[in-house]
Amino acid sequence: MIEKLEFENKEIDIEELPKLEDLKFNRVEKNYLLVLLLRIIIFGLIFNGIGAFFYFTKTMGIPSEVIQYILLAINSLFALRVILTILSFKIRAYAIRERDISYQRGLIVFKQTTVSVNRMQHVELTQSLLMKLFNLSTVKIYTAGGSQSDISIAGINKEKGEEIKDLLSEKLSQHA
Amino acid sequence: MRNIDLTKPNRQAPKGLVLILAMSIQKLIRALWPMLLIYFWKNDQFVEYQTIINVGIIVIILLLSIHAVLYYLNFKFYVDKDHFILRKGYLRKQELNIPLDRIQSVNYKANVLQRLLKVVSLEIDTAGSVKKELKILALELDYADTLKNALSTSVNVKETEDVNQDVPIKDEQAEKLLKIEIGELVKIGLLQNHLQMALLILAFGWQFYNELADSFKEEISQVSGQVNEQILQSSLIVLIFMGLLFFGISILASVIKIIVKFFDFEFSKTESSFQMQAGLLNRKNMIIPFKKIQELSWGTNPLKKAFSLFSIKIKQANSQVDKKKSLMEIPGCGNENLNQLKEVIFGEDEFLRDRKYKISGKFFWRVLFIMGCLPILISSPLYIYDVVHYIVPILWFGFSTFASWLAVKKRYFQISENQLIISKGMFGQDWKQLEIYKIQVVDFRQSIFQKSSGLAGIQIYTASGSTSIPFINENLAKELHKFLVYKIQSTEKSWM
């Protein structure tokens, strides 16, 4: 269906533009995988706990077989989630250039988002309770493109996160 | 023009009291209407409680009046150090603080009651995901004009004095581009997507029926018994007649909707902005400065196409809460008007020589899966026991196969030095045109299914929404991603 591969473009030679795929991407901290897995395990425990409650107390009279099947289904979903999280973890990476930041993630649907410094609204550093345990943080970058296009890079070392945030904030104020 | 001192806290017009009261009564009625309906319908059952009900009504009105007074007294706005500040609330105090340069547009509106009271409500739109309600309910017209100018003046400080001048509803300098008479509106209404309207009526009717069903169980079972019998006894002709009647109602509803929304439609342009006013019950007056336009989209459906009519949307940066409010719509116009608009917004046509990039035919399978297979799979328990019902999924599958084929055919993009056009559609067709430097964020995305066939997609986010170019060659997507990012970074122009 595509008649011609190369990109028709005048004046600027596209080959000379810095290539995004050649960017040196930094992986997020390995500890963050633990945070992600812990999160899934905690949710798993909560669901199994609820299931066990109905199984043993017979509150609402749900047949125990039904509960077994539901738990089996839920737990296999959790198992799938764990596998996907581990497999997709090595894809999570970010790259900072002078004028933009790129973030990539996703195994089933791979996504690489690029936000230019001159389009950033503000930058934020957050830390959830679990992440605090591992000294990790999330860098959130807001644009006027709406919440779908805002990127949040989770699993960056706290000190490094502060550094990135300061760096971007500084670049941002130069543009404003 | 009136002189107002914005450095001190201002209140809205005292007439606002009436409006606040009316609004809260309206809200209450909206929340309680099923109950009220029961009350009036089965009046006789409530006779013993009549006094309690009367006292209750008086107490409620009294409380609402107190609320109105407190709300009015605590509602203040002023400008301080380049920030527009709005304070409201008495139990939960709220202070909304908006930098003047973040203000997107200032619009005013008047509903029937406001027109009777000769006041307007003023709405201030901002960019970004700020969920803030910036609305002043009642202002005298000249006061609103002054305030609007005061706010928009500071917005466009860099521009010439043109903007500083009065921008009232009727501007002498405005060049009228389009006026739609009532006859034309009826025609546009007739050419709307009636299927959509029919579904809307069905959904609304269903909800209405459900809300009432509980309170009128007996009546319904009686009537529906009769109706069932009648339907069974009646011939095919009656059923066809009922279908036609329903379709007629849908068409009528489309026409009425268009007329109410776009009555006496006027569209004009000044040096720096588009202006629009329209509406039968609520007269809407709207101004979009050219530089705040993020995207122009135009579309047609098979009916409109036959009369070469387009509906047009001019999109500006919006807060996520009011997507619709920041939209300027033209219900129908010809090719000439469309080209005129394009020229004003984008200048000379850059796309004359540029080719259309089609997307891969594999897109067909995605659309077919989402539109055809998924609904059939989900609804499968419904027809699994009844062979007759197989006909519905088979018909739907055929229909969605055709629609998916159309979806591939109509999706393409064009790119020039500074602009991008994206087309999509099934039975109708919609186009979007935008300046590349107005793009906020670019996404490259690729599913594992696409990877094996060397395909990928691009998602583009602007301050007025997002668009995708799915299923193009992987290398083309990478080049496009790179080029768009380069274009965004190399511009000095501000996106708004």
Residue reference for tokens 């067909």: B364
CB contact residues (below 8 A), chain B span 396-435, against chain A? 415, 417
Would you state the pLDDT for residue B454? Answer: 94
Q: Are B451 and B473 in contact (CB under 8 A)?
A: no
Q: How many CB atoms lie within 10 A of CB B465?
A: 19
Name the nearest CA neighbour of B341 among B315, B317, B312: B312
CA–CA distance, A154 with B190 (Å, rounded to integer):
52
Percent above pLDDT 70 for chain A: 86
Would you state the pLDDT for residue B136? Answer: 86
Name the nearest CA neighbour of B458 among B438, B436, B484, B435: B484
**Sequence ranges of the domains in chain A:** 31-88, 93-175
Q: How far is CA B12 from CA A54, B86, B103, B138, B147, in A?
A: 58, 11, 20, 6, 11
Interface contact B462-A143, CB threshold 8 A = no
Interface contact B466-A145, CB threshold 8 A = yes
Q: Please give, rounded to a whole number of angstroms, the shortest distance from the CA of B57 to a CA of chain A.
A: 42
Dihedral sign for Cα B26, B32, B33, B35, please: negative
Would you state the pLDDT for residue B271? Answer: 85
CA–CA distance, B471 with B412 (Å, rounded to integer):
10
CA–CA distance, B258 with B189 (Å, rounded to integer):
6
Interface contact A149-B440, CB threshold 8 A = yes
Q: How far is CA A42 from CA A14, A38, A55, B166, in A?
A: 48, 6, 20, 62
CATH topology of domain B16-168: PH-domain like (2.30.29)
Q: Are B185 and B259 in contact (CB under 8 A)?
A: yes
Interface of chain A toward chain B, CB-CB under 8 angstroms = 1-3, 5-12, 14, 17-21, 99-100, 106-119, 121, 142-149, 151
B171-194 pLDDT per residue, tens:
457 788 899 999 999 999 999 888
Using CA coordinates, name the residue in chain B closest to A146: B129
Between A and B, how many residue pairs show a Cβ–Cβ distance under 8 A?
124
Q: Which of A22, A97, A112 would you mutate first to test chain B, the one with the most B CBs within 10 A?
A: A112
Query: Following CA atoms B388, B393, B396, B402 in sequence, which dihedral angle do they give, to the nearest 10 degrees?
Result: -120
Would you state the pLDDT for residue B228? Answer: 63
Q: Are A101 and A114 in contact (CB under 8 A)?
A: yes
Would you state the pLDDT for residue A75? Answer: 93
Interface contact A146-B489, CB threshold 8 A = no
Whether the model clears a pTM of 0.80, i.e. scores above it, the answer is: no
When CB atoms are compared, the residue of B443, B479, B485 closest to A116 is: B485
End-to-end, the C-alpha distance of chain A in Å comes to: 43
Q: Is the pLDDT of residue A1 over 70?
A: no
Interface contact B448-A107, CB threshold 8 A = yes
Would you state the pLDDT for residue B78? Answer: 87
Look up residue B371 and give its DSSP letter: I
Rounded to the nearest angstrom, the gap between the alpha carbon of residue B135 and the centroid of all alpha carbons in its chain is: 18
CA–CA distance, A80 with A68 (Å, rounded to integer):
18
Domain covering A93-175: architecture: Roll (2.30)
Q: Is the pLDDT of residue A5 over 50?
A: no
Interface contact A2-B360, CB threshold 8 A = yes
Higher pLDDT, B336 or A63: B336
DSSP code string of B244-270: HHHHHHHHHHHHHHHHHHHTTEEEEE-
What are the structure tokens assigned to B31, written together?
Answer: 């929340």
Residue reference for tokens 């906020």: B440
Compute the average pLDDT of residues A127-146.
89
Compute the average pLDDT of residues A48-61.
84
- Note whether B475 contacts A: Cβ–Cβ < 8 A: yes
A5: which chain B residues are within 8 Å (Cβ-Cβ)? 473, 475-476
Would you state the pLDDT for residue B106? Answer: 78
Q: What is the ipTM of this complex?
A: 0.84
Strand partners, A115: A101, B441
CA–CA distance, B149 with B122 (Å, rounded to integer):
12
| Long-range contacts, B194-199 (Cβ 8 Å, 24+) | B194/B247, B194/B250, B194/B251, B194/B254, B197/B250, B197/B251, B197/B253, B197/B254, B197/B257, B198/B246, B198/B247, B198/B250
Residues of chain B with pLDDT under 70: 1-2, 126-133, 152-172, 211-235, 319-325, 353, 384-389
Would you state the pLDDT for residue B33? Answer: 81
